Amino acid sequence: MRHAIHSVFKAAAEAVLPPLSTSQFGEKGVLTPSEFIQAGDFLVRTCPTWSWEGGDPKKKRNFLPVDKQYLVTRGVPCTRRASELETYDPNSEFSISGYGDEWVATHSDPHASHDRTEHIPSIDDTGPSQGGKGDDAIPDLSELEIQEEDDEAALPMSELMKTRQDGRNIQAVAYKTAVEPEDTILRTRTYDLYITYDQYYQVPRFWLVGFDESRHPLIPEQVMEDVSEEHARKTITVEPHPNLLLSAASIHPCRHAETMKRLVDNMLENGGSFSVDHYLLLFLKFIASVVPTIQYDYTMSVGH
Amino acid sequence: MDSTSASHFPALKFAPLQSRFDVQFWSELAERKLDRYRLSEEPVPLHGTFSCSRYVEVGSQLCLDGGSFELDHHCSSNSTSSAQAGQHLVKGTGRLYNTWENFRDGSDKAELLKEAAARVWKDILSGETESTPELLSQFTVLCYADLKLFHFNYWFGLPALKPPSPFLTSPSQSLEEYFGTDASKKVAEACDAWLRQSPGHQLVEQPAQGGESTSVCEMAASQLSRTDVNTPHASPFAWMLSYCISQEDATLPQESCTGLPGIMARLACQPLAALNQLSASSDGSTVSDGSTVSNEQWMLAFSDHSSVSGHPGWVLRNLLLMIAVRYPLVKSMKVVCVRASKTGRVDPSRCLVLTVQLPAVPDGWCQGPGEVPEAVGWEPNAEGRLLPRKVDLSPVMSPTLLAEQAV
């Protein structure tokens, strides 16, 4: 409920208040829209998997260029659920160790989301496109099966979807599903990751849109499985995406500015330099601690 | 390569290009079905994009999103997908049925795939696919949307035409193994530059490693008339790579197992239409008439969506068939399957080099009126059967559920 009220307040405030116009990233860790564009351009140049998009024209934000409304990288694999990370230690996250507790706390009620996560059905029983199975509306599906000519040049689907735990593809030779132990087969999800600009908090905001191994969209609750447990219950909220017509899981930006300020200060203390160009690179390193299993590239060096 | 040794080569297998429809696509479809198409079941033009494979774990997919309907307005309006380097366009047709019964019985599925295949075949025979390689892949999607329940049923097909006999291949090598470390880096840089050329996109100069000049990446972008591409998307998914081994370098220590010197004199990426330059040579690789410029080598390069080791992506199938049909003198072709690392840059250790034996295509094969080579390519469902897929988007699209979520 607090969350709903806050959303309304935030929307009202955004409608009335002008976007930030003077640079304050040094003092407060926030960005102006033009600095967001500058940092985004740098990210796109440095790491070509990211690109700008314009999104739904009806949802255009006027303070950003029409073709640079948000950043996106698509089809990023995620082979393990965050809870399976054996070596995961919340205190070892990136360089903000010790600050972790401070920035993750938000207004969302941890107990409420806790209850919800426990009822998440496993991917096996939500499998969407299992044609015909238990679907009353569509009774005679299997009659539809197309008899296509044998195609000796096509690699069977089963060989595409299976990856070994070490991340390497199983060689496409005489693969026997029955003998393969279940735990060496990974269910590789893919993610589209978005970075938008949050006008109210004046920081970038990170969104996760996921797909399961058969490329069916994940519901936001399933996305929680790929967020480190520490954050899943506190910092991730499901909200309408500002540029797209859907609700998606997002890392709530209320503490981003503080965290970014701290990261920049750390870097300066250690004798580095920092320009606003590098803001998003640093931001992505920080995000990597929240979504430890999503394999996007956050290894670019920052601040040299 | 004589025919006896060729027969020992295994048939080349291709990893299908998987379709991926995002929630935006379905919500746009729902809106259009209600407001624009209404009861019309006429085919609508669609498009999707793919990139070369960037991750070891999973191949790149053909993404269809909210902008997939907006092809005609791409250049002028602010639609979803603006010019993007490294993305390749695949066009297709969507049929949006009004009822489940029409979806199920309304059309002959085999006939629909054949229609799509016939378009590709026509463009191959006319030579059009050489100037506009994207025409080699043309998909068909059948949809039935239950807009009350937010259930979407669909069937995706990307036709691959079957050659008279299979493509045979030698065991693959990585680009790095094939050319050696230094030369493969240069090839990767050249491919990167090709992939990232795009109107309005700034080409970024990477600092050359070890002070080498990067000027070898001779760009042929200017040769490519923009009107040919007719979309703001980046470069075509297939291109030709040419290089010379300079005479003076021939004495250098040989770095790779294939005996190529580690340093190449001239390296260029050229539009696919450059294929016509190699019809003079019989194997598509070397012309040896003794002159100084004669040792030019040609390779076919394409943006490979497959991440499977040793197996190139589906989009290569029609491309190879096109070469076999249009350039019957070319008996074998060196193919570079261009793949990137997760930074998005071409990675020489992931790129494959294949030597593909092209089948002999008899004169006039499948060229009679109405004749089309057999086509395959309906996408199986999650269980691997040739059945439609279904997406239930009520959790993200149903207004009632969304209203509950908001509180």
Please check whether residue B6 lies inside any domain of the structure: no
Task: Identify the H or E element spanning B125.
Answer: helix B109-126
> Taking CB atoms and an 8 Å limit, are B166 and A153 in contact across chains?
yes
CB A20 within 8 A of CB A32: yes
The domain in which residue B335 lies consists of 168-357
Angstroms from A23 CA to nearest CA on chain B = 26
Burial B85-99 (b: 16+ CB within 10 A, else e): bbbbbbbbbbbbbbe
Catalytic (active-site) positions of A: 254
Is residue B115 located within the same domain as residue B29? yes
Please check whether residue B1 lies inside any domain of the structure: no
Nearest CA among A206, A215, A213, A214 for reference residue A291: A206
> Taking CB atoms and an 8 Å limit, are A295 and B55 in contact across chains?
yes
> Taking CB atoms and an 8 Å limit, are A48 and B374 in contact across chains?
no
Please check whether residue B117 lies inside any domain of the structure: yes
Q: State both tokens at B133.
A: 């390689």
Give whole-number Cα distances, B140 to A70, A152, B62, B107, in Å: 30, 22, 13, 12
For chain B, the domain total comes to 2
Please check whether residue A279 lies inside any domain of the structure: yes
Name which of A47, A54, A60 is nearest B82 (Cβ-Cβ): A54
ipTM of the complex: 0.79
Nearest CA among B77, B63, B82 for reference residue A68: B82
Is residue B242 located within the same domain as residue B140? no
Locate the chain A residue with the closest alpha carbon to B195: A48
CB B300 within 8 A of CB B351: no
Please check whether residue A212 lies inside any domain of the structure: yes
Angstroms from A155 CA to nearest CA on chain B = 5
Task: Identify the H or E element spanning A102.
Answer: helix A100-104
Is residue B242 located within the same domain as residue B282? yes
Each of the 407 residues of chain B gets a pLDDT tens digit; together they read: 444 444 578 899 999 999 999 888 998 899 899 998 888 889 999 999 999 999 988 899 999 988 888 764 443 333 334 447 788 989 999 999 999 999 988 778 889 999 999 999 999 999 999 999 999 999 999 999 998 899 999 999 999 999 999 999 988 999 999 988 888 999 999 999 998 875 433 333 333 333 333 333 333 333 333 333 333 445 789 999 988 876 554 444 444 444 455 456 678 899 999 998 875 554 444 444 444 445 778 999 999 999 998 899 999 999 999 999 999 989 999 999 999 998 889 999 999 999 999 999 998 899 888 899 999 999 988 888 888 999 998 877 777 766 665 54
Tell whether B326 is within 8 A of chain A (Cβ).
no
Interface test with B, best of A214, A294, A296, A304 (most B CBs within 10 A): A214
Please check whether residue A298 lies inside any domain of the structure: yes
User: CATH code at B352?
Assistant: 3.40.140.100
The full DSSP string for B91-121 is EEEEEEESSHHHHHHSS-HHHHHHHHHHHHH
Angstroms from B310 CA to nearest CA on chain A = 8
Tell whether A300 is within 8 A of chain B (Cβ).
yes
Name residue B300's beta-bridge partners: B240, B335
Phi, psi values for residue B193, rounded to 5°: -65, -40
> Taking CB atoms and an 8 Å limit, are B386 and A1 in contact across chains?
no
Is residue B46 located within the same domain as residue B152? yes
Range 107-126 of B in CB contact (< 8 A) with A: 109-110
Tell whether A59 is within 8 A of chain B (Cβ).
no
> Taking CB atoms and an 8 Å limit, are A159 and B60 in contact across chains?
no
Q: Is B195 helix (H, G, I), strand (E, B) or coil?
A: helix
Please check whether residue B107 lies inside any domain of the structure: yes
Locate the chain B residue with the closest alpha carbon to A185: B57
pLDDT beneath 70, residues of chain A: 1-4, 85-144, 149, 157-187, 301-304
Please check whether residue B3 lies inside any domain of the structure: no
Tell whether A188 is within 8 A of chain B (Cβ).
yes
Interface test with A, best of B53, B54, B347, B391 (most A CBs within 10 A): B54
Q: Return the number of CB contacts < 8 Å for A and B.
A: 224
* Overall pTM surpassing 0.80 (yes/no): no
Q: State both tokens at B97.
A: 């049925």
Please check whether residue A290 lies inside any domain of the structure: yes
For chain A, the domain total comes to 1
Is residue B82 located within the same domain as residue B187? no
> Taking CB atoms and an 8 Å limit, are B384 and A158 in contact across chains?
yes
The full DSSP string for B19-78 is EEE-HHHHHHHHHHIIIIITT----EEEEEEE-----SSS---EEE-GGGG-GGGTTTS-
User: CATH code at A210?
Assistant: 3.30.1460
- Alpha-helix runs per DSSP H in B127-162: 128-131
Please check whether residue A74 lies inside any domain of the structure: yes
Q: pLDDT by residue (tens digit) across B9-66? A: 889 999 999 999 988 899 889 989 999 888 888 999 999 999 999 998 889 999 998 8
Nearest CA among A302, A68, A129, A277 for reference residue B393: A129
Q: State both tokens at B44.
A: 């609508």
Please check whether residue B4 lies inside any domain of the structure: no
